[in-house]
C-alpha cells in the first residue's frame, strides 16, 4: 500500500464529557398547532443559516448549538413562502437531556500532541487547517470532539475527529465525484476498438485506484484529481495508466467470480517503467506489477496487451496461493499456470498477440509437449504444463478445468517441481466424479504424466 504518513502537530486543550443523548426528530407544517414550532424556535442555533431561493420559497438550513458547540448530527430546516414560515423541521438533541456540560473550557495551547493521519495521497502535506470543538453522536453517545478541518495539496478537503488525543475518524468533505468516463481497448487494440467505458469508485491523485487496484506511472505526465474524464489518446502516456487499471480491475473481478479468490490488499502496478526510455519491462514482484511502454522493436504497446497484463496479475494469484519460484521447474510451473489462466480468460491460446512485434504471438499453449521433453528452458517447459491444462479445458470444460487447476495450485509450494505437481493433481482428480476422471486421466497419460 502506498500509504504516506503525515504528522500533524496541533495544540489545544481537550476536555470530554459523555452523556446519553436523546435525539429528537420533529416537524411542523403551516396550519398545525404551534407546539412543535415552539420547540424548534427555542433551539439555540449555530451562527447564520444557509439560504437558497427556490421559486417563491426561501429555504434555510442551520444546525443546533449547545453551549456554543456545534451539534454535528443536528439540522434545522425552515421554508418560508413570501416571508411567511411554511414549514419547519429539526433533528436535535433535547437540551435538557444534557445534564452537565463540562464547564472547563478548552484551553488552547495547553497541550500539544502528535498524531498520525494516513492518506493514500502523495506527496501529502497540509495546506490549510483550522479546528473547532463539536458535539457529535458517536456510537449512540453524544461526545465532545475536536474537529480538524484541513486541505491537502491535491485540493481535497478533510475533517478529522479527535477525542482527546485519539483520532476517531477521518471524513472526506464535499461532493464525491468519483465516476469517470474513460476510453480503453477492452480486448486490446488487435481485437477491439477504442471504447468508452465508465469507471466507478475511482480515486484519482497521481495514481488511478479503486478499492482493489492502484496504478501509478513513472512518466512525467501526471494524473490529477481535477481531470474531467480519462479519455486519452493511446499515444498519451496517461493512456497506459488507465488501460492497465481497466485490465487489472477487470481481472480481479474475474478472479473473485470465477476462482473465488480475493486479495486483502490492493494490487499495485506501475506503468511507463524506465521513463523516458521505452523498456520491455513486464514483471510481477511482491504485490507490484511493472510495465514499460515497449521498445517498438520487439514489443509495442505492452500495457495494452491484455494477455500480458493478465499474465502478470496471475503471478500475484500464484504468489499468494503457492509462492512458486521464478526459476527452474517451479518457475516453469509458475509461468505455465499464469499462461493457462490468461488464455482461459481471453478464450484464446495465444500470449503476446498484441504487443509482440516479431510474430503473430509470443507463445501458444496449444501444443503437444510431453513431460519427458523437458529441456530446462523456463518458457519451453511452462508449455508442458499450460498445454496439458489447456487440453483438459478443451475436453472437460472451462469451469471444471479452472477448479482443477486452482485446487492443484493451492497444494503447491516454493519447492514444487513437475513431480510434485503430478502427485498433487492426482490427489485433486481423485475427488472428481468418475466420469470426469475418465476424461482427465487419458490426457495425463498421453502426455507422459502419472495418473491413478
Ligand atoms: Zn510470467
**pLDDT digits 0-9 by tens, 269-314:** 999 988 888 888 888 987 889 999 899 999 999 999 999 999 999 9
**Amino acid 113: pLDDT:** 26
pLDDT tens per residue, range 204-256: 878 899 989 999 999 888 777 667 789 999 999 899 999 999 999 999 999 98
d(CA 359, CA 378): 20
How many A from CA of 330 to the centre of ligand 1? 12
Query: Using N-to-C axis directions, what is the helix angle for 306-321 and 398-409, rounded to 10°?
Result: 50
Cell of 397: 470444460
Centre of ligand 1 from the C-alpha of residue 122, in Å: 30
Are 264 and 410 within one domain? yes
What pLDDT score was predicted for residue 116? 35
Structure confidence at residue 4 as a pLDDT band (50, 70, 90): very low
pLDDT of 129 reads 64
Q: Which of 147, 172, 197 is the C-terminal boundary of a domain?
A: 172
pLDDT confidence of residue 2: 34
Q: Which residue has the higher pLDDT, 20 or 203?
A: 203
Question: In the structure, what pLDDT confidence band is assigned to residue 83 with cuts at 50, 70 and 90?
Answer: confident
Q: Specify the pLDDT at position 72.
A: 81
Same domain, 273 and 330: yes
Residue 301 lies in a domain: yes
Q: How confident is the model at residue 175 (pLDDT cuts 50, 70, 90)?
A: low
Q: Ligand 1 centroid to 311 CA: how many Å?
A: 6
Q: Are residues 303 and 320 in the same domain?
A: yes
Q: Are residues 184 and 167 in the same domain?
A: no
Q: Assign residue 260 a region (left: φ > 0; alpha: ψ between -120 and 50; beta: otherwise).
A: left
**Based on the domain organization, do 402 and 424 belong to the same domain?**
yes
Q: How confident is the model at residue 176 (pLDDT cuts 50, 70, 90)?
A: low
Specify whether 117 is located in the same domain as 204: no
User: Same domain, yes or no, for 131 and 73?
Assistant: no
Q: Which domain holds residue 234?
A: 180-446
Task: Classify residue 52 as exposed, middle or buried by CB count within 10 Å of its CB (0-12, 13-18, 19+).
Answer: exposed
- Both 249 and 359 in one domain: the answer is yes
Q: What average pLDDT does this structure show over 421-445?
A: 97
pLDDT at 366: 96
Number of domains in the chain: 3
Query: What is the whole-number distance in angstroms between the Cα of residue 450 and the centre of ligand 1?
Result: 26
**Is pLDDT at 121 greater than 60 in this prediction?**
no
351 and 293 housed in the same domain: yes
Residue 213 pLDDT? 94
For residue 334, how far is its CA from the centre of ligand 1 (angstroms)?
A: 7
Element (H, E) at 362: none
Name the region of 316 (left: φ>0; alpha: ψ -120 to 50; beta: rest): alpha
Residue 452 lies in a domain: no
Q: What is the mean pLDDT of residues 100-121?
A: 34
In a domain, 373, yes or no: yes
In a domain, 133, yes or no: yes
Q: DSSP labels for 418-432?
A: HHHHHHHHHHHHHTS
Q: Can you give the CATH number for the domain in which 222 is found?
A: 3.10.170.10
Last residue of a domain, one of 54, 77, 97: 97
Q: Assess whether 150 and 273 both reside in one domain.
A: no
**pLDDT at position 19, please?**
46
Q: Which residue has the higher pLDDT, 450 or 160?
A: 450
Which residues, 6 or more positions from 222, have their beta carbon under 8 angstroms from its beta carbon? 206
Q: Tell how far the Cα of 379 is from the centroid of ligand 1, in angstroms.
A: 9
Q: What is the mean pLDDT of residues 57-72?
A: 84
Cα(291) to ligand 1 centroid in Å equals 12
Would you state the torsion angle of the CA atoms of residues 253, 256, 261, 265, taken in this order, to the nearest 10 degrees?
A: 50
Mean pLDDT, range 340-348, rounded to an integer: 97
Ligand 1 centre from 305 Cα, in Å?
A: 14
Å from CA of 428 to ligand 1 middle = 25
pLDDT at residue 74 in the model: 87
Q: Is the dihedral of CA 188, 295, 363, 338 positive or negative?
A: negative
Tell me what pLDDT residue 368 has.
Answer: 93
Check pLDDT > 50 for residue 327.
yes
Q: Mean pLDDT over residues 422-448, rounded?
A: 97
State the cell numbers at 60: 434555510
Spacing, Cα 331 to ligand 1 middle (Å): 9
Tell me the pLDDT band of 68, cut-offs 50, 70 and 90.
Answer: confident
CATH number of the domain residue 46 falls in: 3.10.450
User: What share of the chain has pLDDT > 70, as a percent?
Assistant: 84
In a domain, 102, yes or no: no
Mean residue pLDDT of the chain comes to: 83
- CA of 418 from ligand 1 middle (Å) equals 17
How far is ligand 1, taken at its centre, from the CA of residue 338, in Å? 6
Domain end residue (candidates: 153, 172, 191): 172
Say what the pLDDT of residue 223 is.
Answer: 79
In a domain, 103, yes or no: no
Average pLDDT over residues 314-322: 91
How many other C-beta atoms lie within 10 A of the C-beta of residue 183?
A: 19
* 126 or 283, higher pLDDT: 283
Local confidence band at 18 (pLDDT 50, 70, 90 cut-offs): very low
Of the candidate ranges 66-75, 155-164, 373-382, the one whose mean pLDDT is the lowest: 155-164
Q: What is the DSSP string of 52-68?
A: EEETTEEEEEE-BEETT
User: Mean pLDDT across the stretch 395-410?
Assistant: 96
Other CB atoms closer than 10 Å to residue 84's CB: what's the count? Answer: 7
- Centre of ligand 1 to C-alpha 183, Å, is 27
User: In angstroms, what is the span from residue 90 Cα to ligand 1's centroid?
Assistant: 61
Residues with CB under 5 A from ligand 1 (ion): 335
Using a pLDDT cut of 90, give the percent of the chain over it: 53
Lowest mean pLDDT segment, chosen from 80-94, 128-142, 270-284, 287-301:
128-142
Q: Are residues 168 and 33 in the same domain?
A: no
Question: What is the whole-number distance in angstroms between the Cα of residue 315 and the centre of ligand 1?
Answer: 7
pTM: 0.65
Same domain, 153 and 126: yes
Distance 11 CA to ligand 1 centre (A): 52
Amino acid at each position: 500500500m502506498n500509504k504516506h504518513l503525515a504528522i500533524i502537530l496541533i495544540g489545544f486543550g481537550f476536555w470530554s464529557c459523555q452523556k446519553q443523548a436523546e435525539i429528537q426528530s420533529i416537524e411542523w407544517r403551516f396550519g398545525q398547532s404551534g407546539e412543535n414550532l415552539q420547540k424548534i424556535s427555542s433551539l439555540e442555533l449555530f451562527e447564520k443559516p444557509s439560504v437558497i431561493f427556490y421559486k417563491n420559497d426561501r429555504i434555510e438550513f442551520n444546525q443546533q448549538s449547545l453551549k456554543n458547540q456545534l451539534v454535528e448530527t443536528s439540522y434545522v430546516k425552515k421554508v418560508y413562502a413570501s416571508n411567511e414560515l411554511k414549514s419547519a423541521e429539526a433533528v436535535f438533541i433535547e437540551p435538557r437531556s444534557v445534564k452537565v456540560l463540562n464547564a472547563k473550557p478548552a484551553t488552547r495551547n495547553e497541550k500539544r500532541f502528535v498524531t498520525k493521519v494516513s492518506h493514500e495521497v502523495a506527496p501529502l502535506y497540509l495546506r490549510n487547517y483550522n479546528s473547532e470543538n463539536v458535539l457529535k453522536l458517536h456510537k449512540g453517545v453524544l461526545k465532545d470532539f475536536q474537529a480538524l478541518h484541513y486541505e491537502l495539496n491535491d485540493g481535497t478537503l478533510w475533517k478529522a475527529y479527535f477525542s482527546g488525543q485519539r483520532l476517531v475518524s477521518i471524513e472526506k468533505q464535499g461532493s464525491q465525484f468519483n465516476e469517470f468516463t474513460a476510453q480503453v481497448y477492452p480486448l486490446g487494440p488487435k481485437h477491439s476498438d477504442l471504447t468508452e467505458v465508465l469507471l466507478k469508485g475511482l480515486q484519482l491523485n497521481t495514481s488511478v485506484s479503486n478499492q482493489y487496484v492502484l496504478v501509478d506511472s513513472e512518466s512525467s505526465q501526471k494524473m490529477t484529481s481535477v481531470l474531467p474524464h480519462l479519455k486519452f489518446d493511446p499515444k498519451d502516456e496517461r493512456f497506459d495508466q488507465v488501460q492497465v487499471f481497466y485490465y487489472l480491475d477487470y481481472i480481479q473481478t474475474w478472479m473473485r467470480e470465477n476462482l473465488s479468490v480475493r486479495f486483502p490488499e490492493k494490487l499495485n502496478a506501475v506503468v511507463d517503467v524506465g521513463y523516458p526510455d521505452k523498456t520491455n519491462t513486464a514483471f510481477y514482484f511482491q504485490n507490484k506489477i511493472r510495465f514499460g511502454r515497449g521498445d517498438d522493436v520487439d514489443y509495442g504497446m505492452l500495457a495494452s496487451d491484455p494477455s500480458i497484463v493478465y499474465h502478470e496479475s496471475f503471478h500475484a494469484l500464484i504468489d499468494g496461493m503457492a509462492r512458486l519460484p521464478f526459476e527452474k521447474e517451479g518457475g516453469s510451473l509458475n509461468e505455465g499456470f499464469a499462461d493457462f489462466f490468461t488464455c482461459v480468460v481471453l478464450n484464446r491460446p495465444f500470449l503476446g498477440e498484441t504487443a509482440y512485434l516479431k510474430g503473430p504471438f509470443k507463445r501458444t499453449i496449444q501444443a503437444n509437449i510431453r513431460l519427458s521433453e523437458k529441456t530446462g528452458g523456463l518458457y519451453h517447459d511452462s508449455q508442458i504444463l499450460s498445454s496439458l491444462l489447456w487440453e483438459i479445458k478443451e475436453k472437460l470444460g472451462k469451469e471444471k478445468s479452472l477448479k482443477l487447476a486452482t485446487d492443484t495450485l493451492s497444494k503447491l509450494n516454493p519447492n514444487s517441481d513437475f513431480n510434485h505437481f503430478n502427485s498433487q493433481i492426482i490427489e485433486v482428480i481423485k475427488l472428481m466424479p468418475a466420469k470426469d476422471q475418465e476424461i482427465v486421466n487419458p490426457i495425463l497419460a498421453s502426455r507422459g504424466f502419472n495418473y491413478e
